[in-house]
Structure 1
């Protein structure tokens, strides 16, 4: 059945908006060429989108720079404001941005272990409210949150996970209760993988495994262009993976003895001490600073080889089951190791599994979670604002 005129208009409008979002400001002629629509149809949709306040003239192009054909149209960036939060065990980092994803303000707040739940929540909410005011945003449309722990695949809520601060779960609920905005929460590793797939090391991959290497370890699975969460939201809990080389086995409540015991920040620091690697104090996991120092020295091949061996054990288990063709070493440690570490892991992986698997260093490091949270908030806003009849 052919689409009705109103449905066709809505589809054309959304296609044009997505092009403007991806390509930046365009002329009507460029929209015509990219969409394949007729000149009158493009003229109509431009008029509709201007009338709805979604696009505006942002300049002119061409030699003469005048007349309707020279007008350049762009999305009205302040039509909606967004926020993204990276909630870690020891604090919160956040950004406020416009509809195009341009950062308007950012802030961070450490929250110590001795801070009780309600004060921690109030401080985090107050930080967001203050940053929104500093950004000049009248009202938030969507908020994306990246947090450690499991996200219930049915409800989309952060599950109560042992070992994580109680304020994490309460913060998400408080933001949902107090903000006149859509709040979307997702596992931090999944968001980091999304960011690397959209704007980082996995831009050309529909299927890959992302290994988060920071204070802890985790994995995210992109298969055939889709993020896979598992039946309970726990796909990628690689810290619990039994691997050789540990002192014992993990349990349902403790990942000690699992892959975490080889690749977590504390384990990497112990390994670096064994090889005499030292680094100046730096923000983020101490392991990342040590790995960066080892790479920069050019004389720490033994340490990097030992670390690559450890990482290859977890990567081989995942690759042998999923055959992703590509593993991205992400988080602060993966970013610090760069190509130097990725090449070593790939070589050891080739000796452990017959399945050809490329290993890449993540491009975004620890910023990947915040980047992914902002992408999620922006998509939530666009789904509503770009929808037919919006």
Structure 2
């Protein structure tokens, strides 16, 4: 097979890249080791920055998001038994976020790809990337017991943290930065109305909690738990009881419980790979960076990568210019590190750490008190949460 861009990974990053390239008349084949149903079963983020919303519109897949997504103009932070609202819309000059589950976003992209008759090969094995440091990169894989090869101009590594693309880069050519946090998030998804019409971030003496949502009838809740905890140790009743203990009185009164649709524990880490371009192969999304979910930046940073990469490839094919692909890594990393900083900072601010003594607790409380009772402090939170401008500080 021959194509212009071979995309490894059919998650949101790979599908969005494929859609943007298709609209620009650039051929791409996507290969994915899992089935389409498995990709859709992943329970992931649901808060989209304005940049991500605009990019989905640009890709022509935003119609259902605007019909069914929930536009949020603010969120609440609970600490010391008191709620404080961050009015994002007011503090950022009219910017908002959209609550729209990653599963739904992925479905929209899959449907658009199917409708356009574009090639996506699911359930492949033994994927390998070759000669990406040459002018003729290749991708090989196995499907139904047969060997296949894709000749291409470029390879886009959208295959996640454990994917083959980053793993294929010589260790001497890559620098990795990582911080592992000493706790995880126990998440529960339920077909129950949300406890509040906006998200609630909770800093309690018992640990962090987050009250989130996917729709007006489906809720997503999280609890900070030790890394030693196992999902099967947490019954639904135990989860709901612990959540009640971390909420305030109004939250406990308004909480509607029910059977879980899904429960899982996700460890938290900060991770960045530098650079993100290796010859004619580019990393995007989780293949290049991971953030703690506290700041809702993972999917949004991946979308920004895809925006930069699609623009660079379109510029290469339409204008015969290498400028975009040459600057891809630098442009992405400047935005990524700002997202990593906010996610790390917000995680530090809202969680209780195992070795956190009285001094650290008092300093955390003092910082929260300043941020939430100062317009300048609240604006810092709001500006980062809605997403910094696409080309923020790129001079």
TM-score norm. by structure 2 comes to 0.28
Rg larger for: 1
By relative contact order (CA 8 Å, sep 6+), the higher-ranking structure is 2
| Structure with greater strand share of residues | 2
| Structure with greater helix share of residues | 1
